[in-house]
């Protein structure tokens, strides 16, 4: 990819919400399922803002046309990011990707101790309650929140997994040896987060207990 703009890695679930300490034993901090390449300036501008739905009165942050995606300006929502200073709406072609990364983080990190490092892990919870979304201390134990859950679920279904996202899931599995189940089975989100469970959907594709 060629660009004159600086890039870095973005924690889709901000590290300030549950796992602020840098280090190899801090698994949520280094979990590749939710680390994505991002524009350095936009990463800093987004900061720890939760994801939500904006409007045309919000400030626009345009994207760069890359491999046929992104670019353009001036029309909401278009291919731009938007923010009102409180929430951040990501551009349309990345809504589902980040939504599934957040859904994964909620189910992967349930507190307790890591089975490999024996280090404490946070209990990460998606919520619609903005008042619960607060920065945490300098350790990775306890409960931390991110959102907004209802928006994330909407984005998950409006922007389903692509071949690119499925390939990324395979590559991450090759390194981490775990998968994002909501890429493999998007229908599981309703069961896990809305308690709307269909037997045929839960046990599809040979995943019989």
CA dihedral 55, 60, 64, 68 (to 10 degrees): 20
Residue 16 covered by a domain: yes
Residue 73 covered by a domain: yes
- How far is the CA of 74 from the CAs of 38, 68, 79, 81, 130, in angstroms? 21, 18, 9, 11, 29
Residue 53 covered by a domain: yes
Rounded Cα distance between 114 and 26, Å, is 9
Tally of domains within the chain: 1
Residue 1 covered by a domain: no
The answer to whether the predicted template modeling score (pTM) of the entire model surpasses 0.85 is: yes
- Asked if residues 139 and 28 have their Cβ atoms less than 8 Å apart, the reply is no
Q: Which residues pair with 143 in a beta bridge?
A: 123
Kindly report, residue by residue over 56-102, the tens digit of the pLDDT.
899 999 988 888 888 887 789 889 999 999 999 999 989 999 999 99
**In which domain, by residue range, is 84 found?**
7-206
Residue 36 covered by a domain: yes
Kindly report, residue by residue over 125-176, the tens digit of the pLDDT.
999 999 999 988 776 668 999 999 999 999 999 999 999 999 999 999 999 9
Residue 2 covered by a domain: no
Describe the chain by its helix, strand, coil percentages, rounded to 5: 35, 15, 45
Lowest mean pLDDT among 51-55, 86-90, 112-116, 161-165: 112-116
Residue 12 covered by a domain: yes
């Amino acid at each position: 990819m060629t660009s004159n703009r600086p890039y870095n890695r973005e924690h889709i679930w901000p590290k300030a919400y549950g796992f602020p300490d840098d280090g190899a034993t801090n698994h949520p901090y280094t979990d590749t399922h939710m680390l994505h390449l991002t524009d350095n300036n936009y990463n800093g501008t987004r900061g720890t803002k939760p994801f939500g739905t904006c409007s045309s009165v919000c400030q626009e942050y345009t994207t760069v046309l890359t491999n046929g995606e992104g670019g353009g300006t001036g029309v909401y929502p278009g291919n731009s990011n938007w923010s009102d200073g409180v929430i951040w709406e990501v551009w349309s072609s990345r809504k589902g990707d980040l939504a599934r990364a957040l859904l994964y983080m909620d189910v992967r990190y349930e507190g307790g101790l890591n089975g490999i490092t024996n280090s404490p892990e946070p209990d990460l919870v998606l919520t619609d309650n903005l008042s619960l979304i607060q920065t945490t201390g300098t350790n990775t134990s306890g409960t931390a929140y991110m959102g907004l859950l209802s928006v994330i679920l909407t984005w998950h279904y409006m922007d389903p997994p692509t071949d690119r996202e499925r390939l990324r899931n395979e590559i991450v599995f090759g390194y981490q040896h775990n998968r994002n189940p909501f890429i493999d089975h998007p229908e599981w989100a309703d069961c896990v987060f809305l308690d709307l469970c269909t037997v045929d959907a839960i046990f599809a594709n040979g995943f019989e207990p």
